Amino acid sequence: MENLPVLINTVKQMKKPPKAPIKSLQLELFSQFVTNDLSQVSNTIELWERIPKYFFTSKQVEKLRTIDGLAKPFEWAYKENENEYTVSIQPALIKQKDKKYKAFFPGVTEELVEEALKKIFSDQQYAIHDPEKTESWIKFTLGMIQKALKTKGRSRSIDEIKQAIEVMNKCNIALYKNKKEIWSGAILQDLVTVGREEYLASTDTHHIARLPLFISHSINNLDYRQFNYDRLMSCNEQLTRWLYKRLINRFTQASHITTYSCMYSDIKQASGLLQQNKEGNNRSKILSAFEELKEKGVIQSYVTDERKTARAITDVKYTIKATPQFIKEQIASNKRTTDIKTIAQKSGIRLIKKP
């Protein structure tokens, strides 16, 4: 897997959204899918999604808070391709009804809201992408997000969505590679609320926010994959959704004769979602996620191979066989990738080679 590149410096500077739409072939290609039903598909952007940031449970956050409701930044270290990474997440401080501030880390609701926003962004009506500045902006209302979540069975109240947007805007994520900071920013940056006089036909207040540069860079470089958005949103377990995306991005050559293998140790480090005290409970959680992927039509079967030292399990290798439906979807995603790269080449779009 490619190393995460250094994309931006860490100097914070409030940017303003473009005043007019920008013609962008890159955005047009991001919005084109190989499917008969556009409502069922979206884009997964591995460059951004491989950074662990949505692994906080309400119980964990409560333990991280001090008696006055505040919290220090939380760090999670992991390895990939012989490189050491650390993600440091500074919580969002949100004012409560009692006028006091309380610390919040991004969790499940923020994860689902981001998925809804990326789906909304794939509709060019609500997206602005500047390929020259490598900037992507999304226009949305809280009502749009609420409808998108409700349609997929993940209903949230307006207050819950509003708080999620605040958390995504006010928390800060810093990523370090081999102890050197390579990126720092919010999940939703430069959030701006637009007055109703500019959107008289709307009953909701419109917001505009800038997406992280990892996403803009991937849009410029056509580095994303089509996937079954309906299925992702139907998955109940957070780890199931994480594993599903992992398979979409890495089991690209899924077929009736190929398999995909991964290690327990890699899943534990990369996801941040296996933090139970007993390793046996963590392994059981992975098996539960695999069973849900079987139920959702992604995995046809899987085999576990336990690695032991004496009688102790030190690691587990999982070997996965895909269902015909997942194979079909991966073939469609591969075709879409080939098609858009052909169009980009003919149009003279220069792609940056991966490091």
**What local confidence, expressed as pLDDT, does residue 11 receive?**
47
Distances (CA, A) of 322 to 29, 61, 195, 203, 220: 28, 36, 49, 45, 30
For the chain, residues with pLDDT lower than 50 are 1, 9-11, 196-203, 354-355
**What local confidence, expressed as pLDDT, does residue 200 receive?**
38
Per-residue pLDDT tens over the stretch 60-111: 999 999 999 999 999 999 988 889 999 999 999 999 999 999 999 999 999 9
**DSSP code at position 126:** G
Q: Catalogue all structural domains in the chain, each as residue range(s) with its CATH number.
A: 1-229 (no CATH), 235-350 (1.10.10.10)
Cα separation, 26 vs 49, whole angstroms: 20
**What local confidence, expressed as pLDDT, does residue 7 receive?**
56
Cα separation, 31 vs 52, whole angstroms: 26
3-state helix, strand, coil in the chain (%, to 5): 40, 25, 35
pTM over 0.85: yes
Contacts of 309 (CB under 8 A, 6+ apart): none
**DSSP code at position 39:** G
Cα separation, 8 vs 25, whole angstroms: 23
Per-residue pLDDT tens over the stretch 144-157: 999 999 999 999 99
Helices (H), 78-212: 108-121, 142-151, 158-170
Contacts of 164 (CB under 8 A, 6+ apart): 109, 110, 113, 156
Tokens matching residue 108: 């499940």
Helices (H), 173-320: 213-220, 229-234, 238-250, 264-271, 279-295
Cα separation, 112 vs 117, whole angstroms: 9
Transcribe 282-323 into DSSP letters: HHHHHHHHHHHHHHTTSEEEEEEEEEEETTEEEEEEEEEEE-
**What local confidence, expressed as pLDDT, does residue 92 receive?**
98
Contacts of 284 (CB under 8 A, 6+ apart): none
- Bridge partner residues of 174 (DSSP): 88, 184
